[in-house]
Amino acid sequence: MSVKGGYFFRILDVDLTRGETTIVPIDESFVLKYIGGRGFGARLVADHLKKSGGKCDPLGPENILVIAPGPLTGVYLPASGKNSFVTLSPATGIYGDSSMGGVFGVELRQAGYDAVVLRGRAPELSVLTIEDDRVGILPLPQAAGVSTLEAEKLVREATGDEDMKIASIGMAGENGVVFSCVNADWSRNAGRIGIGAVMGSKNLKSIAVRGSKDLPVYDLDALVRVSREGYDYLKSHEFFRFWQEQGLMSVVDYANAMGILPTHNFKETVFDRADKMNGYVMEDRYKISDTACFGCSMSCGNVCLVREGKYRGTVTEGPEYESAAMLGSNLGASNFAYILKANALCDDLGVDTISTGSIIGSMIEGLEKGILTQEDLDGDEITWGDEEGILRLIGKIAGREGVGDTLAGGAFAILKRWPDMEGVLSHVKGLEQSAYDARAAISMALGYGTSDIGAHHTRAWTVASELENGAGWGLEEKAEFVIYHQTIRPLFDMLGVCRLPWIELGFPEEYYQRFYQAVTGVERSMDDLLECSRHVYDLTRTINVTLGINRKDDYPPKRTLVDPVPSGPTKGNVVDRDEYEKILDLYYEKRGWDSDGKPSLSL
């Protein structure tokens, strides 16, 4: 199998402590096995962990941060703007990655790299500049504490370059908030697992890139043919227009109708004011424009403006469903203008909206249940729907002020201080649960429980399929379905494309094999590509096992197993513990892992 396109065959390695850069060549066998994106990142993190003797402090200079687009990133085909950030997570202490859209990753490829590895720690707050082969580390102390957008402005002033693509952290990343994000292109985030804090621990406020190279494509004519076909497929889909209008905000009504909408910290799954915060409210009263990532005709981004009231003047891209649900219904708040304000604040400060909403919801419930006292929250009172209190707490988390210092440490720090919060704060392996209740669908519980980064929905979003079609499925089919999701979804991150066309508009899988073949010249079946993804999942599990993960860590949040849903269409649902043990056994067996969840692979 020879690779004729798709790669530059080189990785840029930057030692921030020494101010040195190295070009590391990669060979054909490496790109064939790991494909790109998350695959490259997982391999590089595994190699680094092995060299470090199986130990690495995620916030120490010894941790590495890999930024890796895929072979399809930036190429003419639908939704090809994705780029993976891969590292060891300060939130969970284990493997972590996040996929960011927009155009930042495209520019990185145009600079001529298949990945960038950052190691060490710059002597002072800095921006890394990459202009093709010219790489520099520029002090940027004036950016301390500023928002992600303000950081972009300061980088442009410092470099004198208006066109660089810039990824930055906010105050939260500088302060080591373990669920802080990296933000680029105004509205695109690498979120969830604390990549912002890893960048902050390296004294890196921003990364600015400008590339001028053509991307290597093996058969341009074939690519144009299949891409046109793909764009036509999407355009002719009955929900294409609706998707452009609402994007992921359309999920609010769906989740509420199905009884999986996080409400009052996941105590409930239906919100009686969901119609005040759904996609139609956004569309009718707040939306002023669409935005899209590179190459994407689906343009799911929604630019919104608050025109009146106390949040007047707030402009933000979003919220996506998960942000609206976690900062809205999960906190008992339905005022859409407030949701936009909270979303914009999280983006400016650089914190993940899902974890932030989950943690604040657990604080409110903790107070309600008497597990916490008002003194624990610095004498502050906070209740469901308390917009001012919520916004204040977001600021305290990013600034690590008062109780915010504990909350900034995420689930593990909260549970260390208040162990009785275990049944209140929903998390897996230290990562707070995403915006889909799992009590009605054991496959979703298994997806959360076995996800290699913790309770995040993007690894296996199986809840809708199980609720709609799973009546006749046994545990075996459900375990297989989770593995299928955990295999195909990460493949999109390896290729450098967005998974939403496949999820939302049923974009057929075979297109990805055809895109890959046209770009790389490598003839492989979809099964072959999926096998590569499956190997990478084994590898990330092996990283986690090396770091101490085993069966005891593969359970869904406690609430999923003990608190029946109190009302709504999923009333009475709870995942049965014995059933879960059975499905976990099946899952391990089908993956070829032992009964403790250990793959036969070694680092």
Which residues in this chain contact ligand SF4 in the complex, by CB under 6 A? 79, 81, 101, 292-293, 296, 298-301, 498, 500
Residues 332, 237: Cα–Cα separation, whole Å = 35
Q: Which is nearer to ligand SF4, 243 or 271 (CB)?
A: 243
Strand-strand pairing, 115-119 and 10-15: parallel
Residues 435, 353: Cα–Cα separation, whole Å = 10
The CB-of-580 to ligand SF4 minimum distance in angstroms stands at 32
Q: Which is nearer to ligand SF4, 317 or 554 (CB)?
A: 317
333 and 141 Cβ atoms separated by less than 8 Å: no
The CB-of-299 to ligand SF4 minimum distance in angstroms stands at 5
The CB-of-213 to ligand SF4 minimum distance in angstroms stands at 22
Alpha-carbon torsion (582, 586, 588, 594), positive or negative: positive
Residues 580, 72: Cα–Cα separation, whole Å = 38
Q: Which is nearer to ligand SF4, 38 or 264 (CB)?
A: 38
Strand-strand pairing, 182-184 and 165-168: antiparallel
Q: Which is nearer to ligand SF4, 300 or 364 (CB)?
A: 300
Residues 462, 460: Cα–Cα separation, whole Å = 6
The vertex-578 CA angle with 573 and 584, nearest 5°, equals: 100
Q: For residue 157, give every residue at least 6 positions away whose Cβ sits within 8 Å of its Cβ, in sequence order, or none.
A: none
Q: Which is nearer to ligand SF4, 79 or 435 (CB)?
A: 79
Q: Which is nearer to ligand SF4, 101 or 230 (CB)?
A: 101
Q: Which is nearer to ligand SF4, 72 or 292 (CB)?
A: 292
The CB-of-248 to ligand SF4 minimum distance in angstroms stands at 8
The CB-of-209 to ligand SF4 minimum distance in angstroms stands at 19
227 and 297 Cβ atoms separated by less than 8 Å: no
339 and 282 Cβ atoms separated by less than 8 Å: no
The CB-of-505 to ligand SF4 minimum distance in angstroms stands at 9
- Quick one: which H or E segment has residue 205? strand 204-210
Q: Which is nearer to ligand SF4, 302 or 486 (CB)?
A: 302
Q: Which is nearer to ligand SF4, 321 or 418 (CB)?
A: 321
The CB-of-474 to ligand SF4 minimum distance in angstroms stands at 33
The CB-of-101 to ligand SF4 minimum distance in angstroms stands at 4
The CB-of-145 to ligand SF4 minimum distance in angstroms stands at 29
How many residues belong to the chain? Answer: 603
Residues 350, 187: Cα–Cα separation, whole Å = 11
Q: Please report where in the chains the tokens 């203008």 appear, as a residue.
A: 337
72 and 519 Cβ atoms separated by less than 8 Å: yes
Q: Please report where in the chains the tokens 């390296």 appear, as a residue.
A: 202
Strand-strand pairing, 126-131 and 204-210: parallel
The CB-of-296 to ligand SF4 minimum distance in angstroms stands at 3
CA torsion angle 496 501 503 509 (round to 10): -70
Q: Which is nearer to ligand SF4, 326 or 394 (CB)?
A: 326
Choose among 148, 91, 190, 88: nearest CA to 413: 91
